[in-house]
């Protein structure tokens, strides 16, 4: 069995071989010796495609070196694919989110990207860096909130009122992500307020262990 690095190297060599098979350098008599031109029968878009594949294969063939980090706020999609647990689709979503809503600025802000959860963040922690200044904080609040004095919904020492909390505030709690926070707010709207924190168990996805963990951070009614 080949290792991951060996497979990437073989992929790179295979793409280069394919590119060599479709490109033929010829020289016009009127040109100076050594002046290559592309074979006229080869369509221009094929050349561009081969060049793209070669660049992609070259990027994937370079494993991360010890201590090397990829700047998520500047990297291209092929460069992001070098990261653990990041494939072509997730790399594309990261770039699209960054282009649409600005740099991430921190590891936690990667949660803006669909498909990036706590496990992915732990896998990426030692391999990424962030050079940009985000427009929004990790929770979706403006990045300038701490400067302007706006209340920080993710302040760790803060006790959250379960029956008044927004989905954004609930998302900051340990073990609660955006989807579960939305379910809590939806359940509260349909079935009424929670009389005790333990009643969170009525929300799909919350069991006794998570409810007990949240008891110190929530107040009810």
Please check whether residues 143 and 164 belong to one and the same domain: no
Same-domain check for residues 10 and 80: no
Query: What is the per-residue pLDDT for 24?
Result: 44
On whether both 10 and 51 belong to a single domain, the answer is yes
Domain boundary among 136, 152, 168: 152
* 167 vs 147: CA distance, rounded Å: 23
Contact 121, 110 (CB under 8 A): yes
**Spatial CB neighbours of 90, under 8 Å, sequence gap ≥ 6:** 80, 113, 115, 116
Do 148 and 181 lie in one domain? The reply is: no
Rounded distance, CA 1 to CA 26, Å?
40
pLDDT of residue 145: 41
Residues of the chain with pLDDT under 50: 22-42, 137-153
Task: State CA 115 to chain mean position distance.
Answer: 7
Instruction: Identify the pLDDT of residue 179.
Output: 85
Is 70 found in the same domain as 55? no
196 in the same domain as 122 = no
Which residue segment(s) compose the domain that 166 sits in? 160-219
Residue 35 has a pLDDT of 43
d(CA 12, CA 46): 18
pLDDT at residue 96, as a whole number: 92
What's the confidence (pLDDT) of residue 102? 87
Last residue of a domain, one of 152, 180, 207: 152
- From CA 117, how far away is CA 123, in angstroms rounded? 10
Out of 16, 36, 60, a domain closes at: 60
At 15 the pLDDT is 55
Asked if 107 and 47 sit in the same domain, the reply is no
Exposed (0-12), middle (13-18) or buried (19+): which is 128, by Cβ within 10 Å?
buried
Same domain assignment for residues 31 and 93:
no
Query: In this structure, is the dihedral angle defined by the CA atoms of residues 80, 85, 91 and 93, taken in order, positive or negative?
Result: negative
pLDDT in tens, 156-181: 557 889 999 888 888 888 888 888 88
């Amino acid at each position: 069995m080949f290792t991951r690095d060996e497979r990437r190297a073989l992929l790179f060599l295979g793409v280069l071989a394919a590119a060599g098979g479709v490109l033929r350098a010829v020289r016009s008599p009127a040109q100076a010796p050594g002046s290559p031109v592309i074979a006229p029968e080869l369509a221009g878009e094929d050349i561009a495609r081969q060049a793209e594949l070669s660049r992609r294969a070259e990027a994937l063939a370079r494993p991360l070196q010890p201590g090397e980090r990829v700047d998520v706020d500047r990297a291209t999609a092929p460069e992001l694919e070098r990261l653990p647990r990041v494939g072509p689709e997730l790399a594309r979503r990261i770039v699209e989110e960054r282009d649409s809503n600005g740099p991430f600025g921190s590891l936690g802000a990667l949660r803006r990207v669909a498909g990036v959860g706590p496990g992915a963040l732990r896998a990426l922690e030692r391999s990424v860096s962030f050079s940009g200044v985000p427009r929004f904080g990790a929770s979706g609040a403006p990045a300038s909130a701490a400067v302007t004095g706006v209340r920080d919904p993710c302040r760790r020492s803060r006790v959250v009122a379960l029956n008044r909390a927004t989905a954004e505030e609930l998302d900051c709690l340990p073990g609660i992500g955006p989807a579960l926070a939305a379910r809590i707010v939806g359940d509260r709207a349909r079935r009424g307020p929670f009389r005790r924190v333990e009643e969170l168990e009525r929300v799909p996805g919350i069991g006794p262990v998570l409810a007990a963990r949240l008891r110190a951070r929530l107040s009810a009614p």
